Amino acid sequence: MSYEKEKQVAIDAAIAAAKLCQQVRQAIPAAMEKTDKSPVTVADYGSQALICKAIGDMFGDDPIVAEEDAADLSTSEMAPQLAKVTDYVKELVPEATPEAVKSWIDRGNGEVAPRYWTLDPIDGTKGFLRQDQYAVALALVESGQVKVGVLACPAMPLENGECGILYVAVRGEGAFMAPLAGGDLQPIRVADIGDAANLRFVESVESGHGDQSRQSAVAKAVGITADSLRMDSQAKYGAVASGQAVLYLRLPSPKSPNYREKIWDHAAGTIVVEEAGGRITDMHGKPLDFSIGAKFANNQGVVVSNGTIHEKVLEALA
């Protein structure tokens, strides 16, 4: 099946959302705290509203499983924040009202189904707040397999010194990147193992999102001696897909050993890497299971590689 329409709607929505995020970021955004103590900003809500509206308008029957929830924005003390979100959304959707914005955000409360979208309106909110990397990550999943993935990474550097990369993949059609500001999609490939300069691995910036000492031990065991490239968000998948790194390790943090990864933190990134020739499994070599729910209840840790080193990495982990 061709996913031409899905791909185009996803690209347009992600680009619009990334624009909103960059506008918020120029104003040095403040963070609000969610009940799990993690940060969220008006940009996370604005991005989710824009994208869920776009998907809902074009594919009204498709559920969307997204990170944020408008319930936190619905109290009277949050009214000023909701007004701010609405103002940003209005710049791109003039008919936006606070009520409409909340209802668009809540389109993201869908459940995993035979066909669904999953959205992280800002992946790497901590990176967004630090003026580092972040990504708008949107994917379409059918029968448990990611079919379309779009990653908009406004802070990823291009060769010409400018910033902003869009990564796009459709199952069976390859992976591509383009300047986020506009330009043709160019095919990308993972790095070859013989390419010693690219023997780098990527990992999270936040030490609590992984096990950095085990990650560097595993990288060393497969011959990667250079220091890791630390990067927030699914931009790490973009780095592997385009050959800047051969490995992304995300092993359970000793601080939260029972944490289960969320589907929106990986869906778009995984198809971009797979279509660029790479491989993804959990730390035990099992495929990530996108068919059960918002959390990967049956997977632990994530290993993303250029493919050729994957078995060696799994052996080092075993």
Ligand X SMILES: Nc1ncnc2c1ncn2[C@@H]1O[C@H](COP(=O)(O)OS(=O)(=O)O)[C@@H](OP(=O)(O)O)[C@H]1O
Residue 72 binds ligand X (CB under 6 A): no
Distance CA 293, CA 175 (A): 26
Nearest-approach distance from CB 78 to Mg ion, in angstroms? 17
Please count the other Cβ atoms lying within 10 Å of the Cβ belonging to residue 232.
23
Q: What is the DSSP letter of 251?
A: P
Among 242, 306, 243, which residue's Cα sits nearest to residue 280?
306
User: How many chain residues bind ligand X (CB under 6 A)?
Assistant: 21
Helical (H) or strand (E) element with 67: none
Any known ligand binding at 122?
yes
CA distance linking residue 28 with residue 36, whole number of Å = 23
Consult the annotation and say whether 123 binds a ligand.
Answer: yes
Q: Decide if residue 127 touches ligand X (CB under 6 A).
A: yes
Closest CA to 68 of 26, 35, 22: 35
Residue 62 marked as a ligand binder: no
208 binds, among Mg ion, ligand X, none (CB under 5 to 8 A by kind): ligand X
Catalytic residue among 41, 125, 270, 281: 125
36 is catalytic: no
Whether 12 is catalytic: no
Dig out the tokens for 279 from the structure: 């491989």
Assess 256 for contact with ligand X (CB under 6 A): yes
Rounded (to 5) percent helix, strand, coil in the chain: 35, 25, 40
How far apart are the C-alpha atoms of 318 and 302, rounded to whole Å? 14
- Of these partners, Mg ion, ligand X, none, which one is at the site of residue 209 (CB under 5 to 8 Å by kind)? ligand X
Judge whether 21 and 10 are in contact, CB under 8 Å. Answer: no
* Residue 242 touches ligand X, criterion: CB under 6 A: no
In the complex, least distance from residue 261 CB atom to ligand X, rounded to whole angstroms: 6
Torsion 178-183-185-186 (CA) sign: negative
- Using CB under 5 A, which of 120, 203, 274, 275 touches Mg ion? 120
Binding ligand X (rule: CB under 6 A), the pick from 47, 86, 198, 233 is: 233
Residue 209's identity, in one-letter code, is: H
Nearer CB in complex with ligand X: 10/170: 10
Binding of Mg ion by 261 (CB under 5 A): no
Partner whose binding site includes residue 62, from Mg ion, ligand X, none (CB under 5 to 8 Å by kind): none
The residue sitting closest to ligand X, measured at its beta carbon, is 206
Rg of the chain in Å (alpha carbons): 18
Footprint on this chain of ligand X (rule: CB under 6 A): 38, 67, 120, 122-127, 204-206, 208-209, 232-233, 253, 256, 259, 262, 265
Q: Mind telling me the catalytic residues? A: 44, 125
